[in-house]
Structure 1
């Protein structure tokens, strides 16, 4: 599955101040997700002192991306075009949001997208179906590597933690698909559905922590 969201789109949102204008979440689902992504980006920059040149922490950057992922995961299968639409919309909305009372939107975003909030009960539970869990972990790890990786990426060390897991999952997923007699189209559909499921479990960094803990070979 080809990922079409470019990381720079999600990484360049600047903290440009806030004004007196009250803001509300849009009704349009793409604009709503993009608005909350911008709010998350502005909050992350504010928490980091407003330094636009500095890379955000991995968990924060993945959290911004989560809103685009959730838009793509509204159905049973992951829709890349919806996720890409949110990513493209975020920089278009940033100026208007940052000029208003964007901080006041944070509670509304948390209510609209509860999956973005850290779970209170500890690690995130993965699907019980082994093949779906394996496929979802692989797909989400690949997505994050595609969007946040690269030779000069500030997140390359963190992303490297996924590599042993993905190597181990290659063989396991292939064997699982063969054991179920899935044809290529069905295997692609399984991956898309598994990614949509993973996106809805919680923040991407937390989901991947559970994936790494469960599927990385020991020793």
Structure 2
């Protein structure tokens, strides 16, 4: 979640105490996911002693999973749809947090059920390796604008380095060495892997498997 979104959520009715108004979950899947991402952020902030403090990685993972669910609706991960969800979170933050957002917690859990825990990587090293690479890039992009997550970003950068020497042989073994084919294979692996757990937990599993220093 971007720092701008965090600021918008902190400045909403969560702090101001404005009279909440009813709000419904949109029918559009992208708008629905964006709304539920904001609800997840507001819920996490409300649970903190200091609502201005950085959210935990568990909270970030719970927010970002909504974008990943939408992106993984297709066999090849739809980055444009996932990005639209993240953008929609910023756009809808004020509207949602000024509403009775607590009433959306249950509908959001039904629309976007929490993923299984513990997160488990695929047994197939091809899907696991490509999926970890693609998810790592997504997570770095999602957190890059907020300097408060430097430690996690450092772990993810090290993971990318560790995977660099593994990905090319995996692709070559499957006859997918071309740039376009490689990207398509990574998108397929991304769609598979994000269904297996919350993204922060999946990244922990990726670091544990591929980066011995992680």
Which runs of structure 2 are paired with 1:101-140 in the superposition (5 Å)? 101-114=100-113, 116-117=114-115, 119=117, 123-140=118-135
Runs of 4+ in 1 over 4 A off after TM superposition: none
RMSD over equivalenced CA pairs, Å: 2.3
Distance 1:77 1:11, change over 3 A: farther
Equivalent residue for 2:40?
40
Matches within 5 A, 1:6-85: 7-15=2-10, 16-17=12-13, 19-49=19-49, 51-52=51-52, 54-85=53-84
Moved more, 15-24 or 40-49: 15-24
- Cα shift at 1:117: 4.4
How far apart in 2 are the matches of 1:22 and 1:180?
52
Q: 2-side partners of 1:95 and 1:166: how far apart?
A: 35
Tell me: CA distance 1:10–1:211, structure 2 relative to 1, closer, same or farther (3 Å): farther
Structure 1: distance between partners of 2:136 and 2:126 = 15
1:60–1:147 Cα change, 3 Å? same
List gaps (5 residues or longer) in structure 1.
1-5
Partner of 1:98: 97
Query: Residue 10 of structure 1 contacts residue 65 of structure 1 at CA under 8 Å; is this kept in 2?
Result: no
Match of 1:155, SS state, is helix
Q: Aligned-pair distance for 1:135? A: 0.8
- Indicate the residue corresponding to 2:158 in structure 1: 164
Give SS of 1:162's match. Answer: helix
Q: TM-score, normalised by structure 2?
A: 0.86
- 1:180 maps to what in 2? 174
Gaps of 5+ in 2: none
Q: Does the aligned pair in 1 maintain the 2:163–2:210 contact within 8 Å? A: yes
Taking the aligned partners of 2:5 and 2:93, their CA distance within structure 1 comes to: 11
Indicate the structure with greater helix content: 2
Offset of 1:141 from its aligned partner?
1.2
**How many residue pairs end up in the alignment?**
208
